[in-house]
Chains A and B, each alone.
Chain A
Amino acid sequence: EPEVTQTPSHQVTQMGQEVILRCVPISNHLYFYWYRQILGQKVEFLVSFYNNEISEKSEIFDDQFSVERPDGSNFTLKIRSTKLEDSAMYFCASSGTGLAGGNPYEQYFGPGTRLTVT
């Protein structure tokens, strides 16, 4: 079964450093998302991306965050200057379009990247 993959599985960085979290969505999907989950808290939506642009973003997704689809397979989340409170699990997800591109009703989530900011 196709799956969303994420790298790295764990990233440790110092406060103020830039990090890039990488995701490979399911190949025929066209909708992409990032979510985060601070330890012990709810899964929170960050941003959705379609047709090479952001379609929706939350209040959390401020100017420190950016997303990019640099090629036909990767989807990245960049945090420019990390803060201690950015420590969390970051989940990438993708969904299909229902045409030739997979089930439009499901969002498939990756296993997550644990980001630790020290």
Chain B
Amino acid sequence: DAKTTQPPSMDCAEGRAANLPCNHSTISGNEYVYWYRQIHSQGPQYIIHGLKNNETNEMASLIITEDRKSSTLILPHATLRDTAVYYCIARSGGYQKVTFGIGTKLQVIP
């Protein structure tokens, strides 16, 4: 899996959009960008994934740059329940293990 780089922590005001960046400059053509999150002591939770097109689901939007070297996860209206560690992961298939890094600790502030 390609290495990903994320800021260790970020704050976001409640109700505002949270934009979480991720660099994956060595991502290969068959690797998807996945985002998971882990709310304190709970099991990781899948958020979204994409290959090269931007993706949106009920939880978030994923914006991938044209060269695929970086991406941004957008939580459009952050709530206190979105406070969690967010992991950006490059992996080539759904069946493969997920290799978690340190992630970005997002604190949503009232």
Residues of chain A touching chain B, judged by Cβ–Cβ distance below 8 Å, are 4, 31, 33, 35, 42-45, 48, 50, 55-56, 58, 89, 91, 93, 95, 98, 103-112
Contact of A109 with B45 at beta-carbon distance under 8 Å, contacts A95-B94, A104-B94 already known? yes
Q: A45 contacts which of B38, B94, B98, B101 (Cβ < 8 Å)?
A: B98
Residues of chain B touching chain A, judged by Cβ–Cβ distance below 8 Å, are 32, 38, 41-46, 49, 93-102
CA distance A104 to B93 in the complex (A): 8
The DSSP consensus for interface residues of chain B is: loop
Contact of A50 with B95 at beta-carbon distance under 8 Å, contacts A107-B46, A112-B41 already known? yes
* Min distance, Cβ A109 to any Cβ of chain B, angstroms: 3
CA distance A57 to B102 in the complex (A): 21
CA distance A74 to B99 in the complex (A): 24
Specify which chain B residues have a CB less than 8 angstroms from the CB of A98 in the assembled complex.
Answer: 94
Flag if B97 contacts A48 (CB, 8 Å). yes
Flag if B43 contacts A91 (CB, 8 Å). yes
Contact of A42 with B101 at beta-carbon distance under 8 Å, contacts A107-B46, A109-B45 already known? yes
Specify which chain A residues have a CB less than 8 angstroms from the CB of B45 in the assembled complex.
Answer: 109
Flag if B44 contacts A105 (CB, 8 Å). no
Flag if B41 contacts A43 (CB, 8 Å). no
Residue on B with the closest CB to A4?
A: B43
Contact of A106 with B43 at beta-carbon distance under 8 Å, contacts A42-B102, A43-B100, A45-B99 already known? no
10 shortest A-B CB distances, which residue pairs? Answer: A109-B43, A105-B94, A104-B94, A43-B100, A45-B97, A106-B46, A109-B44, A91-B43, A31-B95, A42-B100
